[in-house]
A and B are shown apart, each in its own frame.
Chain A
Amino acid sequence: MYSWLILSSLAKIVGILFVVILPMVSYTVYAERRVSAFIQDRPGPNRVGPAGLLQPIADVVKLLIKEDFTPAGVNTFYYWLAPCLAMMPSIITIAVVPFGSTLFDVPMVIADVNIGILWVFAIGSLGVYGIVIGGWASNSKYPFLGGVRSSSQMISYELSLGLAVIPIFMLVGKLRLTDVVRYQIDHGWFIAPFIGDWANPVKWLLAIPMLISFFVFMVAMFAETNRLPFDLPEAEQELAGGYHTEYSSMKFALFFLGEYTAMIAGSAVMVTLFLGGWHFPGIPDGSHGWIFGLTNIVVFFAKVTALLFFFIWVRWTLPRFRYDQLMRLGWLFFFELALVNIFLVAGILACFHV
């Protein structure tokens, strides 16, 4: 009984990790460099393979055969532990996100647990340990400052992140992420009231707090993944690279793998919560044939890719915040906005009994 479960989940885990996530990470790095070059009107990496498409493979080989150097002053055990801790949480988070409907009657989610979103936050918030321990164990000034900054930045924005999703679970009534997707298939995507029964006026009213939620969640996600405009933990101009200054070779690569996997995991959660998950109007789910099951998976990752492009676009558009502005924005603006938003949804539900 358990052997089938173990085999099918192992197949899904290995498939998702090695066929989807890792290539996606390396090509997000490539896309980041190409898109930034495009935005700044220069060619970017275009020499390795056609249009530079083999660049990520060359990068991986380069990082693997680099000298694996451990400086003398570091705290060796934690210095080695930190890159692993930075990378693992984002990979583990992906387990509860439904990335497709069904394929050959196998549900396309690694673990369909009833605590869904709590698992995402519980594991996702462990990501801060990798950065703080890395910064502290390096025994150097820049990494230390980067680690301290990132710890208080990430925990501050976790408040808004947690508050922003509560309106969704007030509507859905369950914490399981597949139920969130199913609700959106029946009632339309949360931030797109024109999908599904668009003639319902309460749905249009509810779209206002949902858009606020989406905005708060997105900004908090930028801060959680240390992306510009909130990349103070690794601000190159002031911290020479921040928490990973003392790292080289594969340990450095693991930090970057962690950051980009966190971006992908964050986008996947955002797609599931607000953008209808694997659902697209007109495409039936996997019970109608394997071709539709496959299409659902493609639709899901297409949405994730669109959000990733948005991440890169924002990075090259907005300047970096100052630290006091960042904290004020998180604690005074987004925290209060998300809190008021919850009572807005509560009020609408109390008045209209949807």
Chain B
Amino acid sequence: MARDYLPLLLQIVVAIIFAASALGVSVLVGRTGKRTRAKDMAYECGMIPQGEVQPRFSVKFYLVAMLFILFDLEIVFMYPWAVVYKEQIAHGSTIFWSMLSFIAILMVGYVYALKKGALNWQK
């Protein structure tokens, strides 16, 4: 078991080393220029930055993130179901109806979110 996962660990280590060395080489080789006030400013197409640095944004982004967690969990439940589906369906259709009822319950929540306008971005 551990033998299978060892190469994955190696791959992660190689990726980290590669990213760190790319940044390191760039610091060593890259030239350094003068710092000026205009250069240090946040870029706003050449204008002097105005207002708050990080503006307020729509609460919809949070809503989408929360809905994502709900539905992504549902998808995770479907993987083990999918893997055993073919051998179980030979013994009767219980496995089909159980997942259909699970999805039907979830769809109630999905329709509720839709009716509440959680995914309506035009408002």
Tell whether, in the assembled complex, residue B85 and residue A111 are in contact, meaning their CB atoms are under 8 Å apart: no
Tell whether, in the assembled complex, residue A73 and residue B27 are in contact, meaning their CB atoms are under 8 Å apart: no
From known contacts A14-B14, A17-B18, A169-B79, infer whether A113 and B40 are also in contact, taking CB-CB under 8 Å: no
List chain B residues, Cβ under 8 A from A354. Answer: 86
Tell whether, in the assembled complex, residue B85 and residue A349 are in contact, meaning their CB atoms are under 8 Å apart: yes
| Interface residues of A, dominant DSSP | helix
From known contacts A250-B26, A346-B85, infer whether A156 and B42 are also in contact, taking CB-CB under 8 Å: no
List chain B residues, Cβ under 8 A from A83. Answer: 19, 23
Q: Tally inter-chain residue pairs, CB-CB below 8 A.
A: 214
Tell whether, in the assembled complex, residue B6 and residue A342 are in contact, meaning their CB atoms are under 8 Å apart: no
Q: How far is the CA of A246 from the CA of B31 in the complex (A)?
A: 18
| Interface residues of B, dominant DSSP | helix
Say yes or no for A283: interface residue by CB 8 A criterion: no
In this complex, how many residues of chain A approach chain B with their Cβ under 8 Å: the count is 85
From known contacts A17-B18, A141-B55, infer whether A71 and B89 are also in contact, taking CB-CB under 8 Å: no
Tell whether, in the assembled complex, residue A349 and residue B5 are in contact, meaning their CB atoms are under 8 Å apart: no
Interface residues of B in 76-117 (CB under 8 A from A): 76, 78-79, 82-87, 89-90, 93, 96, 99-100, 103, 114
Question: Among A111, A138, A148, A253, which residue has the most Cβ atoms of chain B within 10 A?
Answer: A111
Tell whether, in the assembled complex, residue B100 and residue A92 are in contact, meaning their CB atoms are under 8 Å apart: no
Query: CB-nearest residue of chain B relative to A354?
Result: B86
Interface residues of A in 231-284 (CB under 8 A from B): 240, 245-246, 249-251, 253-254
Q: How far is the CA of A343 from the CA of B27 in the complex (A)?
A: 54
List chain A residues, Cβ under 8 A from B119. Answer: 327-328, 331-332
Q: How far is the CA of A88 from the CA of B8 in the complex (A)?
A: 13
Q: How far is the CA of A32 from the CA of B96 in the complex (A)?
A: 45
Tell whether, in the assembled complex, residue B83 and residue A88 are in contact, meaning their CB atoms are under 8 Å apart: no
Say yes or no for A9: interface residue by CB 8 A criterion: yes
Interface residues of A in 132-186 (CB under 8 A from B): 136, 138-142, 144-145, 148, 151-152, 155-156, 158-159, 162-163, 166-167, 169-171, 173-175
Mark each residue of chain A from 318 to 354: 1 if its CB lies under 8 Å from any CB of chain B, else 0: 0000011001100110010001001100110110011
Tell whether, in the assembled complex, residue B86 and residue A13 are in contact, meaning their CB atoms are under 8 Å apart: no
Query: CB-nearest residue of chain A relative to B54?
Result: A144
Tell whether, in the assembled complex, residue A343 and residue B64 are in contact, meaning their CB atoms are under 8 Å apart: no
Tell whether, in the assembled complex, residue B19 and residue A87 are in contact, meaning their CB atoms are under 8 Å apart: yes
Tell whether, in the assembled complex, residue A17 and residue B65 are in contact, meaning their CB atoms are under 8 Å apart: no
Say yes or no for B53: interface residue by CB 8 A criterion: yes
Q: How far is the CA of A68 from the CA of B33 in the complex (A)?
A: 9
Q: How far is the CA of A167 from the CA of B93 in the complex (A)?
A: 17
List chain A residues, Cβ under 8 A from B53. Answer: 73, 139-141, 144
A327 → chain B, closest Cβ, in Å?
Answer: 5
List chain A residues, Cβ under 8 A from B10. Answer: 6, 9-10, 13
Question: Among A12, A73, A152, A162, which residue has the most Cβ atoms of chain B within 10 A?
Answer: A152
Sample of 5 A–B contacts (CB below 8 Å) = A73-B42, A114-B4, A119-B8, A142-B44, A144-B54
Given contacts A119-B8, A175-B83, 11 further A-B contacts (CB under 8 A): A14-B14, A71-B39, A91-B15, A111-B5, A113-B4, A118-B79, A138-B42, A169-B82, A170-B83, A170-B85, A343-B103
